[in-house]
Amino acid sequence: MASIAVTGASGKLGGATIRFLLERKVAPNNIVAVVRDPAKVAELAARGVPVRRGDYTDSKSLEGAFRGADKLLFISTSALGEERMLQHRNVVNAARAAAVGHIFYTSVIKPSADAKFAASPGHFHTEALIRESGIPYTFFRNNLYLDLVPLMFGEALQTGTLVHNGGNGRVGFVAREDIAYALAATLAKGEHKNREYPITAAAPYSLTDVAAALSKASGKSVTYKALPTDEFRKMLEAKGVPAPIIGMSVGIGEAIRAGEFDAGSTELQRLMGRAPVTLEAFLRNTLTPK
């Protein structure tokens, strides 16, 4: 079995991917958990998974962490702009120096250099860096997480109105756990070299669909109200939402309106070997009291 290095192993996506690799009977010593702070994954070390320190700001630490890896799951950093690109260059340069055989990268559904979604340009340029490295690659072009829906729209359960600046745009929301499951499946077997996979719902959801799903899952009536961006921004400001959160929220709404997340595909189901969780099922499970 090839050695698989996973960055961000202490995070939710990286940690879930390792968990699914172990469930697939990948031997623990064939997985390398790459983290900035090894103490955060002590439970993986206890299960026999080698843990190596690798910091996205320190290319040498990454080179050592990647040494001997046939496959590298490169989970994108949470940083944006030039900070993101500095970190991502470090990862790609370290992968090349360590002679990594194949990079699996978590990108975005429609990477673009001039997108409204703030993270998209970094994904676009990182994909270019990986291609230029000459290392075989697989790009998981992920849509927005279903896990974000309660955070983005949860207030609608109290007010009865889902207010947003996304207009008539649609989003192919997918569950983070399903992405991790598919990543583990592709890492564990098959080549998948030089492929780009759209990781998105079979059919994208409108915000009216989201309101209807919230209604059905909660038993409360929720309707969708579209607002122009300026009005949406003013509404958030009046609520005292911090400026960085307003900027992020407004930007995502503009990206939804522009169709940057409007994509449907059955590729995720094919990679998983089973149907992904739907918006309604996810919300029913999330909102039902345990």
pLDDT band at 2 (very low <50, low <70, confident <90, very high): low
| Mean pLDDT of all residues belonging to the chain | 95
Residue 112 lies in a domain: yes
pLDDT at 87 over 80: yes
Confirm whether 180 is domain-assigned: no
Which residues on adjacent β-strands are paired with residue 161?
223
- Choose one of 142, 165, 191: the last residue of a domain: 142
Binned at pLDDT 50, 70 and 90, residue 287 comes out as confident
Asked if residue 10 and residue 86 are part of one domain, the reply reads yes
Out of 122-126, 152-156, 279-283, least confident range: 152-156
CA distance linking residue 5 with residue 52, whole number of Å: 9
Any domain includes 182: no
CATH of the domain at 28: 3.40.50.720
Domain-embedded: residue 195? no
If one counts the domains in the chain, the total is 2
241: domain CATH number is 3.90.25.10
Beta strands 205-206 and 170-171 are antiparallel
Instruction: Please give the Cα distance from 126 to 137 (Å, whole number).
Output: 12
154 and 285 housed in the same domain: yes
131 is a domain residue? yes
Query: Is 0.85 topped by the overall pTM?
Result: yes
In this predicted structure, the answer to whether residue 154 has a pLDDT above a threshold of 90 is no
Asked whether the predicted pLDDT for residue 223 surpasses 80, the reply is yes
In this structure, the answer to whether residues 158 and 253 fall within a common structural domain is yes
- From the number of C-beta atoms within 10 Å of its C-beta (0-12, 13-18, 19+), residue 184 rates as buried
**Are 107 and 162 within 8 A, CB to CB?**
no
Do 153 and 84 share a structural domain? no
CA 87 to centroid of chain Cα atoms? 17
| Boundary-marking domain end, from 142, 159, 192 | 142
Residues 148 and 33 in one domain: no
User: What's the average model confidence in pLDDT over 280-286?
Assistant: 93
Pair 114, 207 in one domain? no
Q: Among all chains, which residue has been given the structure tokens 């955070």?
A: 151
Q: Which among 63, 13, 11 has a CA at the least distance from the CA of 40?
A: 11
Answer yes or no: do 97 and 171 share one domain.
no
Residues 72 and 42 in one domain: yes
Q: Report pLDDT for 212.
A: 97
98-107, 240-249, 252-261: least confident range: 240-249
Q: Which pLDDT belongs to residue 189? A: 86
Give residue 32's pLDDT: 97
pLDDT tier for residue 289 given thresholds of 50, 70 and 90: low
Q: Are residues 30 and 149 in the same domain?
A: no
- Whether 8 is covered by a domain: the verdict is yes
Last residue of a domain, one of 120, 142, 164: 142
**Domain extent for 236:** 143-175+200-263+275-290
> Do 89 and 157 have their domain in common?
no
Asked, for residue 104, whether it belongs to a domain, the answer is yes
Asked if 286 and 151 sit in the same domain, the reply is yes
Residue 174 confidence (pLDDT) above 80: yes
What confidence tier does 288 reach under pLDDT thresholds 50, 70, 90? confident
- One domain, residues 105 and 166: no
User: What 3-state DSSP class applies to 68?
Assistant: coil
pLDDT of residue 143: 98
81 part of a folded domain: yes
**For the chain, percent of residues with pLDDT exceeding 70:** 99
Interval 72-79 mean pLDDT: 95
